[in-house]
Amino acid sequence: MDRMAEQNAVSHGRLYPTGEPFATHRMPVGDGHVLYVEECGHPDGVPVVVLHGGPGGGCSPFMRRFFDPAHYRIVLFDQRGCGRSRPTASVEANTTQHLIRDIEEIRQKLGISSWLLFGGSWGATLALAYAQAHPDHVTGLILRGVFLGTQAELDWFYGGGVARFFPDQWARFRDHIPAEEQGDMIAAYHKRLFDDDPLVQARFALPWLIWENALAGLQSSPVSHAPPDYARAFARLENHYFLNNCFLDEGQLLRDRHKIAHLPAAIVQGRYDMVCPPQSAWRLSKGWDACDLRLIPASGHALSEPRIASELVNVMNGLRRTEI
């Protein structure tokens, strides 16, 4: 879960300049997929890989701004089916297990022995899944807006839970669907987002994106439009993953947390995150002695919220001194 991160501008001096990549790659990973990968910062710096949200959100220049470019080698990539990766909006051979293999292939091709994982929302889900699969290649995790991929979290967001706080926005999202199908909004939207008619896909992609974006930040201005290709990729991929329970066993990321219990972690979590409520971050951190949970006051879900952004910069600056 996540949407256009830079939609809500951050005016905070602690963010680093956007900068430009020192290298970009078009990386074939099999199954007809070619990933867009970029490297920023210092070529010999401490490696950190940025895992974007969604699924389907893609990375953006804004996501480079949390890292001191003189210290970090920052790797960003668009996951299968979104952003500048091709083919766009494709769900063929697109599962969590495929993405884990992609991350590992990127690491190997870039000659990185181990790296920090930086991910928010769905990016936090993917960071945890990758770390549990390849703990020997991870030096630490920096997570934001934790999403564990559980049914309870999906029910909260798509089953009417959070609608108690946003009845007006929920009605706009729900009313695109006939009353007899509103008991399973993920399945109802799936039927339309994967219709044979591209016009039908486009018609339902935007309300899917708008619903999530409307709840992303305490100060956010709801989005009423988005580039059609972006909305289609975001909605189709996110819906595909959620229909399939994120291709994870129920409770898997908590069950397997012992595999990464030795790794240091920091969680930056908005106290009033309505997309990914703090309970998931709390459950993940409880009993993880090496995990530092930071509940951020007066903040929601968005990466671009000032307090969230500032604290993420603080975390990354702190790691320069501790050298995880």
Catalytic residues: 121, 273, 301
Cα–Cα distance measured from residue 277 to residue 118, given in angstroms and rounded to the nearest whole number: 19
User: What is the token pair recorded at 301?
Assistant: 């879900």
Q: What are the beta bridge partners of residue 268? A: 144, 294
In angstroms, the first-to-last Cα distance of the chain is: 27
β-strand pairing of 291-296 with 72-77:
unpaired
Cα–Cα distance measured from residue 145 to residue 128, given in angstroms and rounded to the nearest whole number: 13
- Nearby residues of 153 by Cβ (< 8 Å), 6 or more positions away: 147, 276, 277, 280
Cα–Cα distance measured from residue 147 to residue 249, given in angstroms and rounded to the nearest whole number: 14
User: What is the token pair recorded at 7?
Assistant: 């939609």
